[in-house]
Amino acid sequence: MTDQADLLILGAPVWTADPARPWADAVAVRAGRVAAVGPEGAVADLRGPSTRVLRLDGGLVLPGFQDAHVHTAAGGLELAQCDLHGVEPGEYAATVARYAAGHSDAAWVLGGGWVMDAFGTEGPRLATLDAVVADRPVLLESTDGHSAWVNSRALELAGITRATPDPPRGRIERDAAGEPTGALHEAAMDLVADHAPPPDQAEWEAAVERGQAHLHRLGVTAWQDAAVEPDMLAAYRAVAERGRLSGRVVAALRWDVEAGPAQLAGLVERRELGSVGRLRAGAVKIFADGVFETRTAAMLTPYLDGDGRPTAELGIGMLDPAELAEAVTALDGHGFDVHVHAIGDRAVRDTLDAFQAAAAANGRRDSRHQIAHLQFVHPEDRPRFRRLGVVANAQPFWSCLDGYMRELTLPFLDPERAGWQYPWASLRRAGAVLAFGSDWTVSTANPLEEIEVAVHRVAPDDRGGEPFLPDERVDLPAALAAFTAGSAYALRLEAETGTLTPGRLADLAVLDRDPFDAAAGPIGDVRVLATLVEGEPVHADPSLDLGG
Ligand SMILES: [Zn+2]
């Protein structure tokens, strides 16, 4: 019998993400594709003598999550370094000391994951690190990746003193006397980082596989790596060539703001090199600005000083609007999907203007241009996403009243602008395609925790807390769709993945509980029992009988 299924999944509701048939009872998989979804009886008809059966005891089956903006390779590297993610700030020094003692042969102590709100606006201090590591340089990135915490040895090696000017697009944090205090923002990070030994090819390849395994455990089957440098691309390519890339990957090649249009030929070449197996290097990432917390987000009106008085600061636009439009137009003309980091309302507006200029110059293409982060979106700019066909690439985990918001953001904002933040529901109502991403390692890579915040606008570690701008909540089906079908569109994978529809690839996740069931408890506590790519497990809980 030729139409028998290779695998049947029974015993749990199936949420398909397909608006034409959102719910089913069972899924059949044949030759890596969804052969049928529907009532259990009908699907079970495809059972033959060699069909494997995964019999679940409740839970939920849904399309594999697709992370529209994540740093998988860099995250995989960080997992092997001095990792401060989730560490209490009071334990940072002890954690660094333990790591340094355990890696006495490493010339540098490298790592990251500290949170900015542990230190206030002036940032962390040299002395804290000097007290635990004096013999070697220490370089620790903040969890958002926009600042670094260094020790005295690192400053010495980089030749940074009170006489060193701030580099373009960066800032050396200083005390009242002008002495560097140990925090470096944006481009100033490179003054030290350029001296640190770069990971070699083998380390990057291991990092790609480690990052991939981390995402698969969380139900993720595809992602966009949101800033891929040439050495990372080479590692992805090597892993793909060995047949070890089980996830589908869009590599967003990084646009160098210094290099201008001369870099286009190199990007086109890397797109060719980076299109192997499940890897496709068809996107380019541009940073339009920095982040609000270090006052490097590009704003339309000035930052307040913390006591409600306006300053002269408007943040740092990484490219002036004409340069940005020129870069976007050139990339669009070469068939790239352009992925722009924009936090401030001015950065968002300049980027939309750039996409408009590209469409005027090149005509409308089937592009997947996208703006990521979208912390401040002026209400007049919200309808432009639909009109220009720009995907809203959103990081829902940030849309809550956490320390970054309470201490480093709200005090520096007028109330009107404070209400413009992370407007996911408004963008949806205006017709924008919403794609969700974690921005791991900036935030957790767990899509279910991200979705919990999208639905409630409350942080999972503060579940009794006040929701942040509750009108911008999106409901559970919309949040799940943004992490499946929406991100599939952003990744140009929507013809083959993103919904559980007959004929599409059987990339799916199995959850231990059904988050639609209120009795199942908080969404972020739901666990992933199995992750399948083309019907084959890339992660499976030991408790599960995959019928192999
Ligand atoms: Zn990012």
Compute the distance from residue 416 Cα to the ligand 1 centre, in Å.
26
- DSSP letter assigned to residue 198: P
Compute the distance from residue 371 Cα to the ligand 1 centre, in Å.
11
Compute the distance from residue 488 Cα to the ligand 1 centre, in Å.
18
Q: Are 368 and 389 in contact (CB under 8 A)?
A: no
Q: Are 318 and 288 in contact (CB under 8 A)?
A: yes
Residue 25 CA to residue 42 CA, distance in Å, equals 10
Residue 526 CA to residue 541 CA, distance in Å, equals 13
Dihedral of CA atoms 498, 500, 506, 507 in degrees, nearest 10, equals: 40
Q: Mean pLDDT in runs of 10 for the chain (548 residues)?
A: 87 97 98 97 94 96 98 94 92 96 94 89 91 96 91 96 94 95 95 94 97 98 97 98 97 94 96 96 96 90 90 88 97 98 97 98 96 98 98 98 91 95 98 98 95 98 96 98 98 98 98 96 97 97 76
Give residue 121's pLDDT: 74
Kindly report the number of other CB atoms within 10 A of residue 306's CB atom.
12
Compute the distance from residue 10 Cα to the ligand 1 centre, in Å.
37
Compute the distance from residue 322 Cα to the ligand 1 centre, in Å.
24
Compute the distance from residue 57 Cα to the ligand 1 centre, in Å.
37
Q: Are 18 and 38 in contact (CB under 8 A)?
A: no
Compute the distance from residue 266 Cα to the ligand 1 centre, in Å.
22
Q: Are 203 and 191 in contact (CB under 8 A)?
A: no
Give residue 102's pLDDT: 95
Compute the distance from residue 338 Cα to the ligand 1 centre, in Å.
14
Compute the distance from residue 417 Cα to the ligand 1 centre, in Å.
23
User: Pairing state of beta strands 337-342 and 370-373?
Assistant: parallel
Q: Which secondary-structure segment (H or E) carries 109?
A: strand 109-114
Compute the distance from residue 301 Cα to the ligand 1 centre, in Å.
25
Compute the distance from residue 265 Cα to the ligand 1 centre, in Å.
24
Compute the distance from residue 39 Cα to the ligand 1 centre, in Å.
41
Secondary-structure percent of the chain, ordered helix, strand, coil, rounded to 5:
35, 25, 45
Q: Are 346 and 300 in contact (CB under 8 A)?
A: yes
Kindly report the number of other CB atoms within 10 A of residue 264's CB atom.
18
Residue 390 CA to residue 253 CA, distance in Å, equals 19
In the three-class reduction of DSSP (H, G, I as helix; E, B as strand; rest coil), residue 1 is classed as coil
Compute the distance from residue 129 Cα to the ligand 1 centre, in Å.
26
Compute the distance from residue 383 Cα to the ligand 1 centre, in Å.
24
Beta bridge partners of 114: 142
Q: Are 92 and 84 in contact (CB under 8 A)?
A: yes
Compute the distance from residue 4 Cα to the ligand 1 centre, in Å.
43
Residue 432 CA to residue 489 CA, distance in Å, equals 12
Burial (CB count <10 Å: 0-12, 13-18, 19+), residue 136: middle
Compute the distance from residue 343 Cα to the ligand 1 centre, in Å.
11
Compute the distance from residue 99 Cα to the ligand 1 centre, in Å.
26
Q: Are 286 and 340 in contact (CB under 8 A)?
A: yes
Query: Which residues, in sequence order, are CB contacts of 271 under 8 Å at separation 6+?
Result: 253, 281, 282, 336
In the three-class reduction of DSSP (H, G, I as helix; E, B as strand; rest coil), residue 242 is classed as coil
For ligand 1, an ion, list residues with CB under 5 A.
Answer: 226, 439
Compute the distance from residue 64 Cα to the ligand 1 centre, in Å.
21
Compute the distance from residue 382 Cα to the ligand 1 centre, in Å.
22
Nearest to 312 by CA among 291, 295, 324: 295
Hey, what amino acid is at 509? A
Compute the distance from residue 439 Cα to the ligand 1 centre, in Å.
5
Compute the distance from residue 441 Cα to the ligand 1 centre, in Å.
8
Q: Any alpha helices (H) in 247-338, and if so which ranges?
A: 264-273, 321-333
Compute the distance from residue 430 Cα to the ligand 1 centre, in Å.
25
Compute the distance from residue 546 Cα to the ligand 1 centre, in Å.
35
Cα separations in angstroms, 540 against 213, 218, 436, 450, 472: 11, 11, 24, 22, 35
Residue 535 CA to residue 54 CA, distance in Å, equals 11
Compute the distance from residue 131 Cα to the ligand 1 centre, in Å.
32
List, for residues 258-291, the tens digit of each pLDDT value.
899 999 999 999 999 999 999 999 999 999 999 8
Q: Are 27 and 509 in contact (CB under 8 A)?
A: no
Compute the distance from residue 480 Cα to the ligand 1 centre, in Å.
20
Q: Six-digit token pair at 247?
A: 């996830």
Compute the distance from residue 226 Cα to the ligand 1 centre, in Å.
6
Nearest to 7 by CA among 540, 543, 508, 536: 536
Residue 79 CA to residue 90 CA, distance in Å, equals 21
Compute the distance from residue 344 Cα to the ligand 1 centre, in Å.
15
Residue 12 CA to residue 526 CA, distance in Å, equals 14
Kindly report the number of other CB atoms within 10 A of residue 447's CB atom.
33
Q: Are 223 and 66 in contact (CB under 8 A)?
A: yes
Compute the distance from residue 376 Cα to the ligand 1 centre, in Å.
16
Full-model pTM: 0.90
Tell me, letter by letter, the H, E, C secondary structure of 496-545: CCCCCCCCCECCEEEECCCCCCHHHCCHHHCCEEEEEECCEEEEECCCCC
Position of tokens 């137009």? 329
List, for residues 100-131, the tens digit of each pLDDT value.
999 999 999 999 999 988 887 778 999 999 99
Compute the distance from residue 70 Cα to the ligand 1 centre, in Å.
6
Compute the distance from residue 372 Cα to the ligand 1 centre, in Å.
8
Residue 165 CA to residue 96 CA, distance in Å, equals 29
Compute the distance from residue 71 Cα to the ligand 1 centre, in Å.
6
